[in-house]
Amino acid sequence: MTGNNSDIQKKLIDGRLIASEIELSISEKIVELKNKGIVPSIAVILVGENPASVVYVRNKERAAQRCGILSKKDIYPESLTEKELLNKIEELNNDPLIHGILVQLPLPSHIDEKKIMEAINPAKDVDGFHPLNVGKIFTENASFYPCTPYGILKMLDYYDIPVKGKNCVIIGQSNIVGKPLAVMLMNRLATVSSLNIFTKDVKSIAAGADILISATGKAHLIDENYVKDGAVVIDVGISNIGGKLCGDVNFERVINKVSKITPVPGGVGPLTVAVLMENTVKSALIKSGIKNKRNKK
Ligand code: GUN
């Protein structure tokens, strides 16, 4: 890696800083709710022991504690049946004290994720994965936008990185990140390319990006050959290589080319969690009548 430390610092998108500002901004709303006797609350369901999911759920629980949001964690063995999970969701849908329901993905293969997402009451769908909320991304009136894509937009906004008319290339087309992000960027009049594992010549398409977003989970896939001079690089990937967390992007090899970059850890991850907290508070505000559904922000 060349360039001195302060040059590198200037290029970093500080996800932890933005997340802490979001947490601060929602804390005032939480006080308002608590003054009305309402404690915002989220139910987090984890099925099985996927190591990454265990860590993500723990991070969500910790953030809730920091913010003063009640978090109810339900951990079930891998053997939980689909019917049992649907019953649990129904119970949470009907619980007036629960404002947000999150089922950590991926689920074991015997459970149909689509069926589970559809079972969550859209008004408590703080992940933004229910088909009703997904559809409303198109019309820009979703109650809840998916946390990682929304967090990425917040990052770009925080650093005044314009999107309109820019070439945005997204590598990875998952329902959680790539697909909703593509539509959210299109809503802002970006020119969006969505790449998947069958895309021919990912490298040359990526190298044309003003804003390159990688969400593949393939450690160090992105090197200097994928990055245009001055590009903004958003690294959504998170892999554990020999006990060390690293992203899709080979940071050392691209740092001299980028104008801005998210580190791993400390980039996208904290934003995902902060937006989840924000969505949970929003759900509580809507239910309490303090906030109107159409009042998006
Ligand atoms: N698995 C990876 N990211 C997410 C997320 O944002 N929400 C849920 N529910 N599961 C995930």
**Domain contains 221:** yes
Pocket flag, ligand 1, residue 102 (CB < 6 Å): yes
Of 107, 123, 139, which residue constitutes the final position of a domain? Answer: 123
User: Which pLDDT belongs to residue 198?
Assistant: 98
Ligand 1 atom closest to residue 272's alpha carbon, by position in its atom list: 6
Phi, psi of 101 (to 5 degrees): -125, 130
The answer on 188 and 113 residing in a single domain is: no
The answer on 179 and 103 residing in a single domain is: no
**Domain contains 8:** no
User: Which pLDDT belongs to residue 290?
Assistant: 87
The string of DSSP letters for the chain reads --S-HHHHHHHB--HHHHHHHHHHHHHHHHHHHHHTT---EEEEEEES--HHHHHHHHHHHHHHHHHT-EEEEEEE-TT--HHHHHHHHHHHHT-TT--EEEE-SSPPTTS-HHHHHHHS-GGG-TT--SHHHHHHHHHT--SS--HHHHHHHHHHHHTT---TT-EEEEE---TTTHHHHHHHHHHTT-EEEEE-TT-TTHHHHHTT-SEEEE-S--TT-B-GGG--TT-EEEE---EEETTEEE-SB-HHHHTTT-SEE--SSSSHHHHHHHHHHHHHHHHHHHHHTSS-TT---
The answer on 177 and 118 residing in a single domain is: no
Of 123, 156, 172, which residue constitutes the final position of a domain? Answer: 123
The answer on 159 and 261 residing in a single domain is: yes
**Domain contains 5:** no
Active site residue ranges:
60, 104, 127
CATH of the domain at 89: 3.40.50.10860
User: Which pLDDT belongs to residue 189?
Assistant: 98
pTM across the whole model: 0.96
**Domain contains 204:** yes
Q: Note down pLDDT in tens along the chain; length 297 residues.
A: 556 898 999 999 999 999 999 999 999 999 999 999 999 999 999 999 999 999 999 999 999 999 999 999 999 999 999 999 999 999 999 999 999 999 999 999 999 999 999 999 999 999 999 999 999 999 999 999 999 999 999 999 999 999 999 999 999 999 999 999 999 999 999 999 999 999 999 999 999 999 999 999 999 999 999 999 999 999 999 999 999 999 999 999 999 999 999 999 999 999 999 999 999 999 999 999 988 665 444
User: Which pLDDT belongs to residue 293?
Assistant: 64
Pocket flag, ligand 1, residue 147 (CB < 6 Å): yes
The answer on 157 and 114 residing in a single domain is: no
**Domain contains 26:** no
Ligand 1 center–CA 66 separation, angstroms: 20
**Domain contains 285:** no
Let me know the angle formed at the C-alpha of 202 by 200 and 208, rounded to the nearest 5 degrees: 125
Of 89, 123, 157, which residue constitutes the final position of a domain? Answer: 123
The answer on 151 and 118 residing in a single domain is: no
Ligand 1 center–CA 186 separation, angstroms: 22
User: Which pLDDT belongs to residue 3?
Assistant: 65
User: Which pLDDT belongs to residue 144?
Assistant: 98
The answer on 251 and 162 residing in a single domain is: yes
Pocket flag, ligand 1, residue 275 (CB < 6 Å): no
Q: What would the two tokens of residue 194 be?
A: 């969505």
The answer on 231 and 158 residing in a single domain is: yes
> 109 to each of 77, 239, 274, how far by Cα in Å?
13, 21, 29
The answer on 222 and 168 residing in a single domain is: yes
Distance of CA 181 to the CA centre of its chain: 10
The answer on 227 and 173 residing in a single domain is: yes
Number of domains in the chain: 2
User: Which pLDDT belongs to residue 4?
Assistant: 82
Residue 80 structural domain: 37-123
Ligand 1 center–CA 176 separation, angstroms: 7
**Domain contains 66:** yes
Ligand 1 center–CA 110 separation, angstroms: 18
Pocket flag, ligand 1, residue 272 (CB < 6 Å): yes
Pocket flag, ligand 1, residue 279 (CB < 6 Å): no
The answer on 250 and 158 residing in a single domain is: yes
Pocket flag, ligand 1, residue 250 (CB < 6 Å): no
CATH of the domain at 160: 3.40.50.720
Ligand 1 center–CA 2 separation, angstroms: 35
Nearest Cα residue to atom 9 of ligand 1: 104
The answer on 250 and 159 residing in a single domain is: yes
**Domain contains 286:** no
